[in-house]
Structure 1
Amino acid sequence: MWEIAGPAVLASVSQFSIEFVSTAFVGHLGDVELAAVSLFQNVTEGFAYGVMLGMGSALETLSGQAVGAGQLNMLGIYMQKSWIISGVTALILTPTYVFASPILKLLRQDKRISELAGRYTVWVLPQLFAYAFNFPIQKFLQSQSRVWVMTIISIAAIGTHVLLNWILVTKLRYGLLGAAIAGDISWWLLVLAQAIYIFSGFLPDTWTGFSSSAFKSLAGFVKLSVASAVMQCLEMWYFTALILMVGRLRNPQTAVDAISICMNLDIWAMMVALGFNAAVSVRVSNELGAGNPKSAKLSILVTTLTSATLGLVFTIIILAFKNQFPKLFSDQSLVIGETSKLAHFVAATIFLDSIQPVLHGVAVGAGWQYLIAWINIGCYYVIGLPLGALLGYKFNLGVRGIWSGMLIGVLLQTIILLGMILRTNWNDETLKANERMQAWG
């Protein structure tokens, strides 16, 4: 498990840190700039990122099970199918970037913050198309346990990003434009480096060149991709809704800044769990494809316990440094104070988010995307968000009330997923994987 999870954790943390670093540099430009970038990251980009990452999850299921079944020649075809679908999806999502400012105003966000966020969103449009290529490449490499290459490239990309931000934002004082340019360059360097590795002949069994077969039988692939995207989006849009709800409170600038800092920390910690998500997805899909249900069950147990232990460590760190971590992102005393008050909520969320992504990885490895989408709707949008709105607005609990509702939704979903996995007949899942490989291979 660690052979996959270790480098996958480093890769996930490094890639997310591109946004993390941008937030840290922008936060010292001013509180309005921080709020604008945070609004973009948690609303516009959160929407697009969820769609693009979800579209790639279909590749994760099929590639992992193909490796287990020994159908290595199909991996390159699957990745090309995913590129086509993700590229078209990026084109469809482009208007949400171009018209981000009026969309945010329509969602009743602060006018000044929305206008600045809209300008920044147009500048980072190239990153949307980088996602369309990056996520399929990630799933392609992960399914073969070639995660160290991805990790080394990701670490190099974040190092480049820090240097570019220091030059463009701090030294040349290009402000938000400098941060956007740094992000665009870093993401495309990441994609190009991974593509060069694949095209250079290091994976002769799985990459045999471009093929017209990628355009055949796209309908079934689109169906699974859309189901994966819906599952992923319902997860990520839950956090987007949280930001939008906070943006309608009194003094939204300080509230948005505080909750954005907390969300950045939570998502950064979640990137570690996403490394275990990748590991358990690869292990479960490989073992199901190979017809080994007992190995699949053992992988789930080991990965869940390991990720939960690390989540507990992060929870303790947040509580121990609750008055210090906000200073990484802001110099404003109001923002620092408000962020510190949310430390207990961040800590609880981080612990739950160390378990939940692993359970999602099991679902993707087994091909349960449709079912998880319905569970997300019930836990998040029928229970979590309405409860958060009730506590935040009706009972005047503000940010803490809204976050409490979100936490209850996450907790409920985690319990349901655990129950599903414990009751699953893994012998049946092995047969389903075999049927899927016969149909797709």
Structure 2
Amino acid sequence: MEPERIGFEKKVLEIMGSRKRSKLAEKSWNESKKMWHIAGPAILTAVSQFSIGFVTAAFVGHLGQVELAAISVVQNVIEGFIYGVMLGMGSALETLCGQAVGAGQINMLGVYLQRSWIITGVTALLLTPLYVYASPILKLLHQSNNISELAGRYSTWVIPQLFALAFNFPIQKFFQSQGRVWVMTIISIVVLAFHVLLNWVLVTKLGHGMAGAAIAANISWWLIVLAQIVYVVSGYFPDAWTGFSLSAFHHLAAFVKLSLASAIMLCLELWYYTAVILLVGSLKNPDIAVDAVSICMNLQQWTLMIALGFNAAVSVRVSNELGAKHPRAAKFSVVVAVTTSALFGILFTAAILATKSDFPQLFTEKPVVIRETSKLAYLLAATILLSNIQPVLHGVAVGAGWQSLMAFINIGCYYIFGLPVGALLGYKFDFGVQGIWSGMLVGSLLQTVILLFILFRANWDKEALQAEQRVQTWGGPSEPQANG
């Protein structure tokens, strides 16, 4: 009788285990569908918008070696700096809008959007001198004179893009928080196709060179922004957008505080790559070194757009679930997003290693640049793998409102550890570009490990309570009356 009882209990345990696995699989599938509903179009949008700069660099790269280096320095140093500030300032909207949607306070979103526009517009105005004085700034940062002069001219031509970014990022967060992302995806894809045609006409056929590339980029970015604004004000968001309101000027101090924390967090991340470009620019043969690193970073940042789609998705999912007081659902969203994005990282890593001698030819025909770029393939592959995990962790931080903590982590891992190690390897031990990139990679790895530890130890019930307090403090119950 005893063996029969043991066999029966074993069978019961097997059935219970099977049901648990089935329930977990169903839960994972449902969460994955919610994630992809946001991540899919967000990835297409990010890839399309990033590809505007990618296409510009590809067309200019065939004009000459110095032209490619100049536009790469502008994109990675000047525009990289600005991109970080604007995206960071707009990311405050990601936290607040996502948690407001989870709490059911849709009416606050339009006012939040207008507040963010005010803040990013003023910020763009304050940052304009960086474009105007790009040439002396780059020389001060020890970049070569010929690259700095050409980069300075190009930088003044693309000032309109600065103000386009000021409007673009807040409106994207407005769309994403409500799961309405396909419209900006369609707009971005259509504009990208137009951008390729415009570059071919202005740069290749008419021979306007870098000036033609700048004009094409300005037109493309403003087409994206204007199309999105028209969609918002045309009545497609009856609950979230009820028109322009003076309420947008209320609670600005608290909004600026969160915006600055978001900007600092993200800027410290993006400036890390800018600092690497600057370190490389001080090596021997800077034209070749900058070209090689810029090509690798263009590819790394292109694959990063996939991870940024999951960044947006997990940020929305976490903020929505915390706003709705569902801490366990928020935690599960993190697991699904990190796992999925890491799988994409493995795929891209394999692709880079398989084409290490071929991918540089997308940007240049110079054998010496192709050879130097190919030497960085293994470091690039490792960076791509890591950068498909990091942005998802950052998305969790934004969704939960941990921007200030992230800023301190970035300072420690990148600027106190990563960059000094890179400079030591690159200059002191004479490993050049590979040494500088290795230092960057080590700093990124340290940051990822710390973030995973923090996520593992996080108290999600406490985060849900803080989300409720945040919605009340930075908008609160008075918002519907003000908007009405």
| TM-score for the superposition, normalised by structure 1 | 1.00
* Distance of 1:390 and 1:283 partners within structure 2: 41
CA-to-aligned-CA distance 1:200-236 (integer Å, 9 cap, x gap): 0001010000000001110000000000000010000
| Counterpart selection for 1:436 from 443, 466, 470 | 470
- Percent identity of the aligned residues? 71
Is 1:379 matched up with 2:408?
A: no
Q: Residue 46 of structure 1: CA displacement?
A: 0.7
DSSP 3-state at the match of 1:221: helix
Instruction: Tell me which residue corresponds to 2:228.
Output: 194
Is 1:233 matched up with 2:271?
A: no
* Distance of 1:207 and 1:7 partners within structure 2: 22
Is 1:135 matched up with 2:161?
A: no
Gaps of 5+ in 1: none
Instruction: Tell me which residue corresponds to 1:31.
Output: 65
Is 1:207 matched up with 2:266?
A: no
| Counterpart selection for 1:290 from 292, 316, 324 | 324
User: Residues 121-160 of structure 1: matches in 2 within 5 Å?
Assistant: 121-160=155-194
* Distance of 2:366 and 2:315 partners within structure 1: 42
Is 1:280 matched up with 2:328?
A: no
Letter paired with 2:261:
A
Is 1:216 matched up with 2:273?
A: no
Instruction: Tell me which residue corresponds to 1:299.
Output: 333
DSSP 3-state at the match of 1:46: helix
Instruction: Tell me which residue corresponds to 2:348.
Output: 314
Instruction: Tell me which residue corresponds to 1:55.
Output: 89
* Distance of 2:66 and 2:204 partners within structure 1: 17
CA-to-aligned-CA distance 1:274-319 (integer Å, 9 cap, x gap): 0000000000000000000111011101110000000100000000
CA-to-aligned-CA distance 1:239-287 (integer Å, 9 cap, x gap): 0000000000000000000000000000000000000000000000000
Instruction: Tell me which residue corresponds to 2:107.
Output: 73
* Distance of 2:158 and 2:407 partners within structure 1: 29
| Counterpart selection for 2:292 from 258, 264, 268 | 258
Instruction: Tell me which residue corresponds to 2:141.
Output: 107
Q: Residue 402 of structure 1: CA displacement?
A: 0.3
DSSP 3-state at the match of 1:201: coil
DSSP 3-state at the match of 2:388: helix
Instruction: Tell me which residue corresponds to 1:389.
Output: 423
Letter paired with 1:133:
F
Is 1:164 matched up with 2:159?
A: no
Letter paired with 1:281:
S
Q: Residue 47 of structure 1: CA displacement?
A: 0.7
* Distance of 2:471 and 2:361 partners within structure 1: 51
Is 1:98 matched up with 2:132?
A: yes
Q: Residue 157 of structure 1: CA displacement?
A: 1.2
Q: Residue 33 of structure 1: CA displacement?
A: 0.2
Letter paired with 2:43:
V
User: Residues 408-427 of structure 1: matches in 2 within 5 Å?
Assistant: 408-427=442-461
| Counterpart selection for 1:184 from 209, 213, 218 | 218
Instruction: Tell me which residue corresponds to 1:3.
Output: 37
Instruction: Tell me which residue corresponds to 1:348.
Output: 382
Letter paired with 1:337:
R
Instruction: Tell me which residue corresponds to 1:406.
Output: 440
Gaps of 5+ in 2: 1-34, 477-484
CA-to-aligned-CA distance 1:133-176 (integer Å, 9 cap, x gap): 00000000000010111111111111111010011011111000
CA-to-aligned-CA distance 1:105-132 (integer Å, 9 cap, x gap): 1111000000000000000000000000
Q: Residue 65 of structure 1: CA displacement?
A: 0.1
* Distance of 1:395 and 1:325 partners within structure 2: 29
| Counterpart selection for 1:19 from 53, 75, 95 | 53
Letter paired with 1:382:
I
* Distance of 2:187 and 2:384 partners within structure 1: 27
Letter paired with 1:66:
A
Is 1:331 matched up with 2:365?
A: yes
* Distance of 1:437 and 1:327 partners within structure 2: 50
* Distance of 1:333 and 1:352 partners within structure 2: 29
**How many aligned residue pairs are there?**
441
Instruction: Tell me which residue corresponds to 1:357.
Output: 391
Instruction: Tell me which residue corresponds to 1:368.
Output: 402
CA-to-aligned-CA distance 1:303-357 (integer Å, 9 cap, x gap): 1000000010000000000111000000111000000110001100000000000
CA-to-aligned-CA distance 1:48-83 (integer Å, 9 cap, x gap): 110011000101000000000000000000000000
CA-to-aligned-CA distance 1:167-189 (integer Å, 9 cap, x gap): 10111110000100000000000
* Distance of 1:173 and 1:154 partners within structure 2: 26
Q: Residue 362 of structure 1: CA displacement?
A: 0.1
Q: Residue 93 of structure 1: CA displacement?
A: 0.3
Instruction: Tell me which residue corresponds to 2:4.
Output: none
RMSD of the TM alignment (CA)?
0.5
Letter paired with 2:57:
T
Letter paired with 2:140:
L
| TM-score for the superposition, normalised by structure 2 | 0.91
